[in-house]
Amino acid sequence: MFKIVHDPISVEEVTNLVSRREAGAITVFIGTVRELTKGKRTLSLEYQAYDTMAVKMLGQIGEEIKNKWPDALVAITHRTGKLEIADIAVVIAVSAPHRKTAYEANEYSIERIKQIVPIWKKEFWEDGTMWIGDQLGHAEYPEGSPSKEE
């Protein structure tokens, strides 16, 4: 249900993990690489993760969702490696008997990923690069990765 992968993500595969007869709604969030960020043109991104801990933290998010929305079922897959514009970086699928729960749990998932999952991204722009990822205030960047613009 919770994966870190290096290859392209299949939205259908992630969605199928939460598909079930009692679900009246399935929401799917697809996070993609955008070209413009705060007025800067992005050329590509590179994601790195502490894989085993990232999967553990994705599982923790799944438990949090189960506690908040007992009828919800979530699957999350995040990609690492170099991604080009429009590539899929993350897919979150949530099923629930009712749409409101599915929407809320899905939004909760992406916010928690940004807060607690040890995944960092390096943004490549026309005029430089920058590592991003400081979950819970810990400055734990991948080896050799600067914590500020180069």
pLDDT digits (tens, 9 = 90+) for 7-16: 999 999 999 9
Residue 13 vs residue 36, higher pLDDT: 13
Full set of structural domains in the chain with CATH: 2-132 (3.90.1170.40)
If DSSP codes are grouped into helix, strand and coil, which group holds residue 32? strand
The pLDDT score that the predictor gives to residue 148 is 36
% of the chain with per-residue pLDDT over 70: 88
Residue 149 vs residue 120, higher pLDDT: 120
Tokens of 97: 């008997």
pLDDT digits (tens, 9 = 90+) for 76-92: 999 999 999 999 999 99
Question: Region 118-128: what's the mean pLDDT?
Answer: 90
